[in-house]
Structure 1
């Protein structure tokens, strides 16, 4: 006879039912210390250990991960934490993703072996501390991953809200019969007309000089929305940009009005960007570059021949 002592949140009836299905006579005993009693021969011990370890690496593991995340991140809704924990554990199992150095199948097999070893020494096993000790690293690793998912989800929601706001602002501006070209590089973003001439707006740039947080992407998006061109050609020379990339934002805000360049010199991955950097509006990582770009002496050097080349893209 094997006796598994459970905690109040464990599904004793479910575990007893699974054990009965494998041929062991099992039943749940309720009370302050709920238990599952399993009567079986030694021939079924391996199967019993496999079933119990499976329950612990699924239902028990998910519950402990949710508890840990809710304890360390109390501002997140429990339902949202539970959803992301379920997705993370399911993906880890389906994709054989390593958790704390091993797959969940390997952790389950290790736990089953520990149970088998314990069967030979004692008939009663208090499951929660037994598993908590052996799966501690798994719970910690999964909790970190679930927190990362929660943060990513929040960022996606914030991004969608910003897209909705930009679309609303765009709808307030009449459509202009103009074609603009947007050049996106690792160093910044700038805009030209169809002939390659630089596009700028003194009022927008004046506001940018007064705000240290303004980036080249902010300026470019403001220009695009206020100009509201009928067609935008996006030259993406930064395909590995961190999410969300400016190219994606432009295409999602302007929809069919924005098209990706089919392959001008600026968009070719092996093209040297030495000449391009002289014409960048400003570095997207530094507000000081905004002021350099807007300084009069820089403006006087803005007639470098590279514009006409880029405009041909």
Structure 2
């Protein structure tokens, strides 16, 4: 006879049913800590150990990861944490992604061997402390991964909100019959007209000087929305830019009006010195500044938009 002490959130009836299906007579004893009593001979110990280990590396592991993330990130809704934990565990198992040096199948096998060894010393096993000791490293790493997923989801939401704001501002601008070219490099971004003359706007740049965090991306996007050209040709010299790349943002905001250059002599041109601005922030942090919104722009001054 083997006796397994379970935590309240584990499905004791489900475990007892699976153990019965493998040939062991099992039943549940209710109480503060549910117990599953399994009547079987030593020949079934390896199979029982595998079934119990499977429960611990699925249901128990998920519950512990969710609990740890909830303590790390108390402001997140429990349902959101649960959702991302399920996705992370499912992908990790399906893709055989290592966790703390082992796949989840390997963790299950190691736990099963430890359980089978425990059966020889005691008929009663408290599964929660047993798994906490054996699976601690897996819980810690999976919790960090789920936290990263939550952070990425937040960035996605902020990015979508920024895109919606930019599309709204663009819709407020009448499209002009102009073609502009955008050159993207690791050093910065600049805009030219169809003839290759650099396009700039002194008023936008004056606003930008008031905020040291404004990047060349902010300037270029504000300029493009202000000009609202009917066609934008994107010369992407930074295809490996971290998400969200400026090329992707242009496509999401301008739609069919933005086309990617498939190759031209100008794509290899280095950015002019006056167009280079250091990238002070990662692409993973939304850099679209509301303070550069068109509503802050007054009537065009000094003859309107300047070109350089």
Query: TM-score, normalized by length of structure 1?
Result: 0.88
The farther-off stretch of 26-35 and 169-178 is 26-35
CA contact (8 A) 1:188 1:280 kept: no
Q: List runs of 5+ in structure 2 lacking aligned partners.
A: 282-306
1:57 corresponds in structure 2 to 57
Mapped partners of 2:85, 2:265: distance in 1: 46
Deviation track 1:173-207 (CA, whole Å, cap 9, x = no partner) reads 00111000000000000000000011011111111
Cα deviation, residue 262, structure 1: 1.0
CA contact (8 A) 2:8 2:33 kept: yes
The farther-off stretch of 151-160 and 203-212 is 203-212
- Give SS of 2:218's match: helix
2:15 corresponds in structure 1 to 15
Q: List runs of 5+ in structure 1 lacking aligned partners.
A: 288-301, 304-313
Deviation track 1:46-94 (CA, whole Å, cap 9, x = no partner) reads 1111000000000000000000010111001110111111111111111
Cα deviation, residue 281, structure 1: 1.4
Mapped partners of 1:185, 1:121: distance in 2: 66
Deviation track 1:212-251 (CA, whole Å, cap 9, x = no partner) reads 1111000000010010000000000000111100000001
Q: Which runs of 4+ in 1 moved over 4 A?
A: none
Q: Tell me if 1:88 matches 2:88.
A: yes
2:276 corresponds to which of 268, 277, 282 = 282
1:194 corresponds in structure 2 to 194
2:217 corresponds in structure 1 to 217
Q: How many residues align?
A: 283
CA contact (8 A) 2:190 2:271 kept: no
RMSD: 1.5
1:206 corresponds in structure 2 to 206
2:254 corresponds in structure 1 to 254
CA contact (8 A) 1:189 1:280 kept: no
1:110 corresponds in structure 2 to 110
1:38 corresponds in structure 2 to 38
The farther-off stretch of 163-172 and 200-209 is 200-209
1:297 corresponds in structure 2 to none
List aligned pairs for 1:258-273, cutoff 5 A: 258-267=258-267, 271=268
Query: TM-score, normalized by length of structure 2?
Result: 0.89
- Give SS of 1:50's match: helix
CA contact (8 A) 1:176 1:229 kept: yes
CA contact (8 A) 2:28 2:37 kept: yes
2:144 corresponds in structure 1 to 144
Mapped partners of 1:278, 1:183: distance in 2: 11
Change (3 A) 1:51 1:193: same
Mapped partners of 2:265, 2:14: distance in 1: 64
Mapped partners of 1:51, 1:283: distance in 2: 59
CA contact (8 A) 2:16 2:36 kept: yes
